[in-house]
Homo-oligomer: A and B are copies of this chain.
Amino acid sequence: MSTKHLIYMPLGGAGEIGMNCYVYGYGPKGRERYILVDVGVTFPDMDGSPGVDLIFPDVQWISDRADRLDAIFITHAHEDHVGAIGHLWHRLRAPVYCRAFTALHAKRKMEEQGQNPENINVVGAWPETTKAGDFKVGFVPISHSIPESSALVIDTPEGRIVHTGDFKLDHSPVVGEAFDPKLYADIAKDGVLALVCDSTNVFSGHAGRSEATVGPEITKLISSQKGMVVATTFASNVARVKTLAEAGIAAGRSVCLLGRAMQRMVAASMESGVLSEFPHTVSVEEARDIPRQSLMLIVTGSQGERRAASAQLARGKYLGLSMDDGDTFLFSSKVIPGNERGVIRIINAYSEMGVDVVDDNDGMYHVSGHANRPDLLEMQNIVNPQIVVPMHGEHRHLREHTKLAAQAGRGSVLAPNGTCISLSGNEPKVVEYVETGRTYLDGSVLIGALDGVVRDRIRMALNGHVIVTLIMDENDDPLGDPWVEIMGLPEIGRSGSPVVDVIEADLAQAVNRAANKVLLDDAKLDDMLSKTARQSANNEIGRKPEVTVVVSRLS
């Protein structure tokens, strides 16, 4: 038996829906050569990461071994697969391979971060393959909710791996390549070692519906509306954007695309040849002069994002356009868990304007881009792998996916982020657990999720912040009393006096009583002032704030 082995290890994406990043390696243990699949982002939220701009997988492990990283493959252009490439490439420094449409986005992301876009290599679809060390990788078209999504066929010295990327089994996807079961059966005919598979919709019991089923319903809806119609979806769902535009035109309306991402995606689709034609649209300037019953807007902001067109319209005028009583707003999308509050806020704002909001509650105007439970089984049956490796999901999805495989009599392995699995030998085994985590883009700085920076922000948000300043004179005696400033605390507490005055009085008393050894010792003095301020605030307003103490010694 060779001492070489084949490994698989998720750095991101197996433990969340987001920031996909998967390592494959082959070689002697500890000296493998690697490829990386996807370098995605996930999005911050106020609960856990306030103020953070973007979240990346912690790529320290592979970055430490970048000299043995032969290539990076990007399955498709969704942010959670390609979004971090510009930010993290300087730590990976390997050639990046993807198909044309994806490459347009990847190159822009490289440029935006000052990286050379020539590191992005455009490759054709299967049967074309790219050699990277002992791996040979091909992009097999697969249906999803963005053009040119691909599964990867990864040929290794130990056998063939099919890495699905995000997918659904759509035989009529409106834009781009339909799922072709024959092609996958052909790829699998000599045996597949592992099916590394999207788990997002493993809890959805019914078979997925085709993108083509949405158009007629939307056309019907728009035709029956009397006011302006505004529709939103993910801009990257080019098929849906096209469906919406065609439906608008079929209903006798002029169509205007609103929001930068919306226009960019359609342009990229034309440029890359993904779209050969797109219905005629009007500019914002033209739209302003079109009677509202003859106008349809297709806008960004399906997740309630504050700066997107949907939210701007909910707050009033946007680029000279506004919504009014009798208009209709269509969410041709589903709310990603965690975004409910933002979306509901917009719906209520529209309600106040008298706008009818139509959402996806009844599933008529949206279909998912991910394979549902029966579709996952169908994929397993087509590819017939030795084992199933669930990826792209929270822990609950991965676990359910292994149970699904077991129900079908297949082996599987539950490998959350940081679990290094050997795929050599008769069955997969855990080689080691690697420390993984999250890296935050915070302003223009990359920080570790556990650095404490964001923890401090959350604490200030929950507790408020008190600043205590004290000047000690040349003899190390207090020069005047401590001075207090507050931020994020009520101004008046139970005594009816300003909170600042109460805390200052308590601090003055504490300083007067303090022993010399406290006054002379910065750490002790800081600690005493901090504790006193916290206790004083707690008495007065029932809350222990964060405290920053600044002692200035004139000595």
Contact = CB atoms under 8 A, between A and B. Distances in A.
A320 to B, nearest CB: 26
Contacts of A444: 493-494, 541-543
Contacts of A460: 457, 460-461, 465, 487-488
Interface in A307-348: 337-338, 340-341, 344, 347-348
A494 B445 contact: yes
Nearest to A456: B488
Contact of A454 (B15, B442, B456, B488): B488
How many copies the complex holds: the figure is 2
A180 B399 CA distance: 46
Nearest to A543: B443
Contacts of A488: 51, 453-454, 456-457, 460
Contacts of A15: 348
A453 B537 CA distance: 15
A116 interface: no
A464 B51 contact: yes
Interface in A434-488: 442-445, 447, 451, 453-454, 456-458, 460-465, 467, 469, 471, 479-480, 483, 485, 487-488
Contact of A340 (B337, B351, B352, B465): B337
A396 interface: yes
Contacts of A471: 471, 552, 554
A479 B348 contact: no
A465 B465 contact: yes
Interface stretch (A42-50, A82-90, A232-240, A272-280): A42-50
A262 interface: no
A270 interface: no
A50 B47 CA distance: 9
A79 interface: no
B348 A337 contact: no
A469 B552 contact: yes
A525 to B, nearest CB: 15
Interface string A335-373: 001101100100110111010010001100000000000
A457 B467 contact: no
Nearest to A205: B362
A554 B471 CA distance: 10
Nearest to A460: B460
Contacts of A451: 490-491
Interface string A511-555: 000000000000000000000000000100111001010101010
Contacts of A462: 50-51, 457
A489 interface: yes
Contacts of A456: 464, 487-488
A490 to B, nearest CB: 4
Nearest to A489: B453
Contacts of A398: 351
A406 interface: no
Most chain B CB inside 10 Å of its own CB: which residue of A451, A458, A467, A488: A488
Nearest to A462: B51
Contact of A351 (B362, B395, B445, B550): B395
A332 to B, nearest CB: 18
A311 to B, nearest CB: 14
Interface string A404-444: 00000000000010000000000000000000000000111
A203 interface: yes
A394 interface: yes
A461 B464 contact: no
Contact of A550 (B399, B463, B467): B467
A32 to B, nearest CB: 27
B550 A469 contact: yes
Contact of A396 (B347, B445, B479, B483): B347
A492 interface: yes
A462 B454 CA distance: 9
Contacts of A483: 550, 552
A543 B465 contact: no
B443 A348 contact: no
A407 to B, nearest CB: 13
Nearest to A445: B490
Contacts of A542: 443-445
- Please name the 6 residue pairs, one residue from A and one from B, whose CB atoms are nearest each other, closest first: A444-B542, A443-B542, A443-B543, A461-B461, A457-B488, A50-B461
5 contacts: A51-B461, A203-B361, A344-B394, A445-B494, A457-B460
Given A344-B394, A487-B546, 14 more contacts: A337-B340, A344-B396, A444-B543, A445-B541, A445-B542, A445-B543, A453-B464, A456-B488, A457-B487, A458-B461, A460-B487, A465-B487, A483-B552, A485-B550
